[in-house]
Amino acid sequence: MIHNEIVLQNIEYDMVIGSSLISMYTKLGLVHDAYKVFNSFPHRNVVLWNNMLEAVIEDSNSLPQSSFFMKMQQEGVHPDKVMYISILKACEKLGLLKEGRLIHGRIIISINEVDSVLGSTLISMYSRCGSLDDAGKVYEDLACRDLVILGAMIAAYVEEGFDQCALELFIQMLKITDRPDKGTVFYVLRACSNLKALQYVQLLHDQMIRARLESDSVLTNTLVDSYCKCEDLVDACQVFGVSKKCDVVSFGIMMAGYIQHGFNTKSLELFLKMVLTGLRPDESTYISSLKASCNINTLETNHCIHYLIVHDGWEFNPAVGKALIETYSKLKCLEESYNVFRRLLDQKVALWSAMMTSYVEQGYEHEAIGIFDRMQKELVVLDSCSLMQALKACTMLKDSGEGKIVHSIIMIHGFDEDEAFQSSVINMYLSCNKVHEGLKVFESSPQQNVVTWSVLISRYAESGCSLLAFELFNNMLQKGLQPDRVIFLSILKACTTSGTIIHGKFVHHQIIKHGLFSDVLGNALIDMYGKNRSPMEAQNVFDRLHMPNIISWTSIVAAHADGGNLHGALSSFETMQKEGMEINVVTFLCTIKACSNASVLQEGRLLHSSCLEFELHDVDAIASALINMYAKCDIVEDAYAIFNHLSNPDVVTWGSMITALVQHGREFSAFKLFNRMQAMDVNSSTAIFLCVLKACSNVGAIVQGRWVHDQILRSEYHSDSYLGNALVSMYASFGSMDEAHNVFSKLLAQDNFAWQAMISGFSKQGDAESVSNFLEQMQRSGLHPLETTYSSILACCSHSGHIEKGPFYFNQIRNVSWISAEQHFNCMIDLFGRTGNLKAANELLLSMPGNPDPVGWISLLCASNAHGNLGVGKLCFGNTIQCLPEFGGGYVFMSNLYVDSVLWKDEQALMEQRKSVEPGNKPTETYNKMNDAYHLFRIGDTGSLARHKLHASFDRINWSIERAGYVPHAWTFCKALSVVDENTHQEISQAEDAPLFLEYTTEKAN
């Protein structure tokens, strides 16, 4: 209305009134109307231009900027100093560096001397337009550098992140004055915060007090923030406490400070105090309160804060919404997190990314990919965060198909040249076993820097491709790139798994060469040398460490233990205790491992006592290690005592105890323990199943074996290849080839070991035809027989008397370059011996590479015994006793030969010789099944009720044999009668469990 009245009175072109109208419209925010008034003047003076420039500064987005400056130049306006300042401020706000430089040029031409006000404006303009160099030149060219100029330059340095330069300039300012202005204090406090320069913050605090600036809320809040960031929470609290103007910003800064120092509960208490004082939280305080609630994991508190957010109308704020999503995600409330996301009206890309991040962090990769797909369907502009989270999800899912799609989108958005994205894409492909694609991305990358090399090398090392990792490492060195500590840690991991120390020593040399040796790399080197069984090299590295920590000490103990240096491990453990190092579970485990030898059993018992002292004996890993230690020291009872003391042992401990029992021949105790484990609903493991199956094979417990088979089928390991092979082997050892073949036919992958088990089983049955058929099928499937497979084949030929097939297979073995034929000579010697061809057997034995081994001599001695060849028998006996002086079987065979040849004196002399060389032997043991139960029998033991029942059974069998007209072989009685009198003969033949251990060969009575 006022403007219309002015127009009606025809005074709108009055310069004073026009200036007033422009100012009015500017203050009302109607910059376009101000611009119309300005343009309506045919001639504009400096006052109008100044007022219009103020409008430009007020709203830089509403004006045609370039035409404004062009008009000014075209009209030949000659600005004064005030106008230049306004123009420079406009350039500063609009970011017009080019125009600012043009104005600067005109200032130099039109104004003789630039004063501090104009100089500070130029510095500020250049700084805000991103040209600190130009600002520095202005500063250097100024003849007079007063406090205003120094303050402007300090502000420029801080805005551009040159905090140290700002602080140095402030120190120069202190030589001029001890009372800097508010602006300078504000910027220097910011610089001190970034530099954590506490002493200068305290100095500025003192100056604020002397200048009476502590009442300024902006400066006070900045001071509190500076103390917090300099980790001086005490002074921060003091300043905050005495402040008379604590606003919502003050509370927000103090809350953030508490959270920064881990005082999350204090932060929430401050938030509550703020609410109770009537202050309404803002965006930053709500975000801080949510963060504190999340850190102390209090869902109930989080719900209360969420209620306040909804009540105050902040629910739809994107930043607060994002914080709610992240908080609920970290509290593992993904449903509530998604509900917050769904209710947000303005679902910006940051919120989508936050939702994706929540899903990925909580392991819901499929849901994260679902969010990513929705973003594309709803045409949300993808940012770097959402693309990175999509890549992470594909990596964790090992989904190369979706990963390729994400990769293509990354390329479309131009992120493919970003270093972080290149590394993540390569990592994704390698995680999906797409090595070719990963290498392709790497090779096509224009920036093959240390980061991308590190990703490749570390991924190869983690996947066990040690040689490829070394090849990449060497290529990197040849290209002149310097490895960093991360790469050295990765390549040392590859050295640990490679099984060769040569590469490890080379990497060690490179670490020293590049001057990167540190305690962290030193620990990795100790671990590498330890795993490669080189404890002395590990000790040399340990001695070079500056400050060995618990990891260092544990690594050196483990290195000595793994390398077999038991006393070195124990010595390191003792030194560690003397040094006052805190011993953890891992250290105890490594040291206990070193004591798994009878020679250091006493030290092992002391360690056991230490575990009791530190109350670690109930830790499953410690208990399992102690069980293994006592088992390897042949003290199973102590191992069992430890196990029985545990209230709730884990599956590893169960496995350790069962394994110990089986290793010490206590299979039936192992069965009982396994049954007890099943009754307690403890989920078994592959290792335990394998051990129990081995126990079944050892004692021929077919019923137990079938039950274990049933348990495997009911478990998650029903398709495990190792268990499948073990089942085939077990049934084959029982001679139950139908059941073995049934398991074999259902295996997902029939490998060498499965075929070997089947062939070995048929071999023990003497089924040469099935052995031959399976061998042909195995070879047709593209597999090559193992050395043990050929041994089974030759053994079958020997037992079944296939004289023609044995040499054929033997020659086949000798034609295979990678199989050592030496071990198969004995099988052929046995074959020739069984068929009576002692000459061929003797010739083959003497033609063996190297010296004939005892097994060959024993086989030929046995054949000589069977065929009554005393001459060859003497030769074999002499060589057997020379190799194995205490081998009792050799004396038995030779004794039989003497008896058959009726050489009684030679036989008696042989028995006397045997007594002088053969030590007392452990009584032979066997397990036999009676009435669905297994019983242990030993020679000479007559106390068992089951044994008496078994003897009764044998008596009935002997009576049946005699009625059928069969008698024991003549030499058996001849030998007995030559040694004992007639009265003792009956006791020997019936009392010593002879039927269990003597093979009866009978002949028809005359």
Give the Cα separation of 939 and 460 in Å (integer).
58
Average the pLDDT over 302-318 and give the result. 89
pLDDT of residue 73: 63
Concatenating the DSSP letter of every residue in 814-843 gives HT-TTS-THHHHHHHHHHHHHTT-HHHHHH
Q: What is the pLDDT of residue 38?
A: 77
| pLDDT tens, position by position, 345-404 | 666 778 888 888 888 888 888 888 988 988 888 888 888 898 999 999 999 998 888 999
What is the structure's pLDDT at 817?
Answer: 46
DSSP 279: P
Model confidence pTM above 0.75: no
Task: Please report which confidence band the pLDDT of residue 902 belongs to, taking 50, 70 and 90 as the band edges.
Answer: confident
Lowest mean pLDDT among 64-73, 697-706, 827-836: 64-73
- Of residues 492 and 30, more confidence is placed in 492
Six token digits for residue 114: 């630039």
For residue 209, count CB atoms less than 10 angstroms from its CB and return exposed for 0-12, middle for 13-18, buried for 19 or more: exposed
Q: Which residues pair with 937 in a beta bridge?
A: 926
pLDDT tens figures, 794-834 = 777 766 666 667 676 676 666 664 555 566 777 777 777 77
Query: SS3 sequence, 910-948?
Result: HHHHHHHHCCCCCCCEEEEEECCEEEEEECCCCCCHHHH
pLDDT, position 935: 59
Task: Give the CB-side neighbour count of residue 961, counting CA atoms within 13 A.
Answer: 15
Could you identify the residue written with the tokens 């090399």? 453
**Residue 60 pLDDT class (50, 70, 90 cuts):** low
- Alpha helices, DSSP H only, in 434-565? 435-444, 450-462, 466-478, 485-498, 501-513, 519-531, 535-544, 550-562
Asked if residue 845 has pLDDT above 90, the reply is no
Which residue, 547, 544, 622, 630, is CA-closest to 590? 622
**Treating both helix axes as pointing N-terminal to C-terminal, what angle do 147-159 and 163-174 enclose, rounded to 10 degrees?**
160
- CA gap 453, 439 in Å, rounded: 10
Q: Is the pLDDT of residue 58 over 80?
A: no
**Which pLDDT belongs to residue 964?**
67
Average pLDDT, the chain: 81
Query: Using an 8 Å Cβ cutoff, are 21 and 3 in contact?
Result: yes
Chain-centre distance of CA 84, in angstroms? 64
> At 252, phi and psi to the nearest 5?
-60, -40
Give the integer Cα–Cα distance in Å for 470 and 490.
Answer: 10
Q: Exposed, middle or buried, 885 (CB in 10 Å: 0-12/13-18/19+)?
A: exposed
Q: Check pLDDT > 80 for residue 624.
A: yes
pLDDT digits (tens, 9 = 90+) for 415-474: 888 878 888 898 888 888 887 888 888 888 777 777 778 888 887 777 777 888 888 888
The per-residue pLDDT for range 590-615, each reduced to its tens digit, is 888 888 777 788 888 888 888 888 88
CA dist 683 → 648, 651, 673, 726 (Å) = 13, 7, 14, 19
Task: Rank 68-77, 492-501, 776-785 by mean pLDDT and report only the highest.
Answer: 776-785
Better-predicted residue by pLDDT, 139 or 982: 139
What's the burial of 326, exposed, middle or buried (CB within 10 Å: 0-12/13-18/19+)? buried
Q: Does pLDDT of 995 surpass 70?
A: no
Greater confidence (177 vs 308) lies with 308
pLDDT band at 674 (very low <50, low <70, confident <90, very high): very high
| Interval 960-969 mean pLDDT | 64
CATH code of the domain made up of 837-921: 1.25.40.10
pLDDT bucket at 225, cuts 50 / 70 / 90: very high
pLDDT digits (tens, 9 = 90+) for 569-593: 889 988 988 888 888 888 888 888 8
Q: Which residue has the higher pLDDT, 988 or 607?
A: 607
pLDDT above 90 coverage of the chain, percent:
21
Grouping H, G, I as helix, E, B as strand and the rest as coil, residue 966 is strand
How far lies 661's CA from each of 165, 635, 667, 668, in Å? 74, 10, 6, 9
Q: Mean pLDDT throughout 13-31?
A: 77
- The beta-strand segments (E) located in 667-817 are none
Residue 183 near residue 219, CB atoms below 8 Å: no
Domain range annotation of the chain: 837-921, 938-1004
Which of 699-708, 884-893, 986-995 has the least mean pLDDT?
Answer: 986-995
Which two three-digit tokens encode residue 71? Answer: 């008009």
Burial zone of 226 (CB within 10 Å; 0-12 exposed, 13-18 middle, 19+ buried): buried
Gap between the Cα atoms of 455 and 490, Å rounded: 9
Segment 855-879, tens digit of pLDDT: 888 888 888 888 888 888 888 888 8
CA nearest 429: which of 415, 417, 418, 443?
443
Look at residue 690 and tell me whether its pLDDT is greater than 90.
yes
Q: Give kind and range of the element (H or E) at residue 518.
A: none
